[in-house]
Amino acid sequence: MNVQHPDLLAEVRDFRARYPEIRYVDLICLDIPGHFYGKRYPVEMLEKVAAGGPLKLPQNCVLLGTQGGLYPIGDYCFADGDPDAPRRLVPGTLKPVCWERQPLGQMLITSDGTEAPIEFEPREVLARVLQRLARRGIRPVVAFELEFYLFDRTLKNGLPQYPRDALCDDEDDQPNMHIERLSRFSTVLHEMVEAANQQGVAANVITAELGPGQFEINFGHCDDGLKAADWAALFCRSTRGVALKHGHRASFMSKPYLDAPGSGMHVHVSLYDDAGNNLLDADGQRPLRHAVAGCLELLPHCMPIFAANHNAFRRYGAMVNAASRASWGFEDRDACIRIPESDGRNLRIEHRLAGADANPYLVLAAILTGMEHGLDAAKEPIPPLNEDRSSGIDFPTDMPAAVAAMRQSAAVNEGLGSEFVMVYCENKRQEYLDFINEVSAREYRWYM
């Protein structure tokens, strides 16, 4: 049960009363590649922060590369002395965790909403997009779906192995979507959902996916875009923790096996006005088509966000529900943008292009920017795949080309912020150069 508190201090004091055994709380924030960083605070010190005390972390933690390195970027990193930047506690996110060996809590922190927000912090980027939409009387309702793989806890020659189930200790090496897999791995899967629910994440439906040891867990629809992205981030953290507790490794890596399907991040988005009307359903669903057209137009320029590392590009062009061009369609899982069948009240797009290891704040910010761009331009989209299976728009298929396209897009620079685009593109460019100089086995560090 989520208890509403009048302020942060009441939330912390209630937490201490409920969980007197917890002495430390991890204060965590997501960096650009989608990894958590932060500090472990004694709970009594957390009470001082909640009462208005300062909370600062190094600004450049946000700029860590996927494999941990820092790169010289403009005036940041090695040119600014790595200054501290203020953070604030995110109300409602202080929760106990169930996967650690000792009693522990965690709470999200962010620079958005502080006196000096970090322009390139992912949560701040999304917050600015949502604020712009709110000024126009537009309120997104969002639901994430995340695919992931389970691996065996033990690596072999540094590489992940198929998971062994709890019933018969057999390797799950068969690609299928059989529901029996949910029984074979029911203990760990059910605890993943329960752990996410304990964090306030509305995780619910579990699906066995096509790849060996691959699953998908869905979230409920949320009328707070920041909270929806918080849920996706927190789910990745809790899922990895629960998997290790049960003798597995959980990976959200986009393409861990060359011969098996990749893992995607599917994002359902509706847009409502202040009166609660679904804007996409107005005027014969013309706004829906405009929003689709905008997403398709900006999609090639947002590929460094949707495919956030070198490995992620290997997922595209597969034979199973992974597009090779920007496309759309009604009830069509081969399309980047699928329109699920629904009544007008629940009309929405399902954006299916992002890899599961993409940053959820940035993915949602890019999708909303595309929808807004389409509504403003009022263009009609290309034909849906239902009418023309060859319909589509080419998008970059490697990181250097994707970075160049993102840098050059005036709409993306305006929608997401030019400072963010500069920092993000330079981070991805240098990260890619580091990666291609390493042996292929090192790619599995992407998810560790």
With cut-offs at 50, 70 and 90, classify the pLDDT of residue 112: very high
**Average pLDDT for 42-55:** 96
87-103 pLDDT per residue, tens: 999 999 999 999 999 99
Rounded mean pLDDT, 6-27? 96
| Percent of the chain as helix, strand, coil, to the nearest 5 | 40, 20, 40
Q: Is residue 126 part of a domain?
A: no
**Residue 438 confidence (pLDDT):** 60
- The length of the chain, given as a count of residues: 448
Q: Are residues 172 and 242 in the same domain?
A: yes
User: What DSSP character marks residue 290?
Assistant: H
- Using 50, 70 and 90 to split pLDDT, how confident is the model at 436? confident
Is the CB of residue 94 less than 8 Å from the CB of residue 15? yes
At 68 the pLDDT is: 76
Provide the CATH number for the domain around residue 221: 3.30.590.10
User: Band of the pLDDT at 361, cuts 50, 70, 90?
Assistant: very high
> Which residues have a Cβ under 8 Å from the Cβ of 371 and sit 6 or more positions away?
269, 271, 291, 294, 295, 349
| CB burial string 419-439: b at 16+ within 10 A, e below | ebbbbbbbbbbbbbebbeeee
pLDDT (average), residues 268-291: 97
3-state secondary structure at position 35: coil
Q: Could you tell me if 249 and 328 lie in one domain?
A: yes
For the chain, the C-alpha Rg in angstroms (whole number) is 21
The average pLDDT across 318-330 equals: 79
Is residue 141 one of the residues assigned to a domain? yes
Which helix (H) or strand (E) segment holds residue 230: the answer is helix 225-245
Distance CA 333, CA 375 (A): 24
pLDDT-derived band of residue 85, with 50, 70 and 90 as boundaries? very high
- For residues 277 and 348, membership in a common domain is answered with yes
Distance CA 61, CA 348 (A): 35
pLDDT above 70 (res 318): no
The answer to the question of residue 123 being in a domain is: no
- Residue 256 is predicted with a pLDDT of 87
Of 74, 96, 118, which closes a domain? 118
Residue 114 has pLDDT above 80, yes or no: yes
Model confidence at 447, in pLDDT bands (50, 70, 90)? very low
**Average of per-residue pLDDT across 273-290:** 97
What Cα–Cα distance (Å) separates residue 428 from each residue in 203, 309, 398, 424, 439? 31, 7, 11, 6, 19
Per-residue pLDDT tens over the stretch 38-48: 999 999 999 99
User: What is the number of structural domains in the chain?
Assistant: 2
Together in a domain, 240 and 105: no
Q: Is the pLDDT of residue 161 over 90?
A: no
Domain end, chosen from 118, 147, 162, is at 118
Tokens of 391: 């319909």
pTM here is 0.95
Asked whether residue 32 carries a pLDDT value surpassing 70, the answer given is yes
User: E strands along 288-341, which residues?
Assistant: 328-330, 337-339
Contact residues for 429 (Cβ-Cβ < 8 A; gap 6+):
399, 400, 403
For residues 223 and 158, which has the higher predicted lDDT (pLDDT)? Answer: 223
Q: Is 307 exposed, middle or buried (0-12, 13-18, 19+ CB in 10 A)?
A: buried
How does 254-282 read in b/e, with b if 16+ C-beta sit within 10 Å?
bbbbeebbbbbbbbbbbbbeeeeebbbbe
Round to whole Å and give the CA distance between 35 and 448: 10
Nearest to 165 by CA among 178, 151, 146: 151
Q: Are residues 398 and 250 in the same domain?
A: yes
Give me the mean pLDDT over the 10-26 stretch: 97
Phi, psi for residue 116 in degrees, rounded to 5:
-135, 70
Q: Are residues 186 and 212 in the same domain?
A: yes
List the CATH number of the domain containing 80: 3.10.20.70
56 and 170 in a single domain? The answer is no
Residue 41 sits in the same domain as residue 135:
no
Is the model's pLDDT at 317 over the cut of 90? no
Give a yes or no: residue 2 inside a domain.
no
Percent of the chain at pLDDT above 70?
95
Indicate whether 359 and 390 sit together in one domain. Answer: yes
DSSP, collapsed to helix, strand or coil, labels residue 266 as: strand
Tokens at 13, concatenated: 């004091």
Whether residue 97 sits in one domain with residue 67: yes
> Does residue 106 register a pLDDT over 90?
yes
- Assess whether 21 and 111 both reside in one domain: yes
Q: Look up the domain containing 216 and give its range.
A: 131-447
CA distance 236 to 253: 11
**Is the domain of 189 the same as that of 260?**
yes
Mean pLDDT value across the chain: 92
Question: Is residue 213 assigned to a domain?
Answer: yes
For residues 386 and 393, give the distance between their C-alpha atoms in angstroms, rounded to a whole number.
15
Q: Which amino acid appears at position 82 of this protein?
A: D
**442 pLDDT more than 70:** no
Mean pLDDT of 407-433: 95
In tens, the pLDDT along 219-269 reads 999 999 999 999 999 999 999 999 999 999 999 999 988 888 899 999 999
For 91, 105, 199, 322, the CA distances from 5, given in Å and listed in that order, are 9, 17, 16, 43
Residue 125 counted as domain residue: no
> Is residue 188 included in any domain, yes or no?
yes
3-state secondary structure of 141: strand
Residue 401, domain member (yes or no): yes
Q: Which residue has the higher pLDDT, 324 or 229?
A: 229
Residue ending a domain, choose from 83, 118, 153:
118
Q: What distance in Å separates the CA atoms of residue 235 and residue 258, rounded to the nearest whole number?
A: 25
347 Cβ contact list (under 8 Å, min separation 6): 270, 278, 280, 281, 285, 288, 339
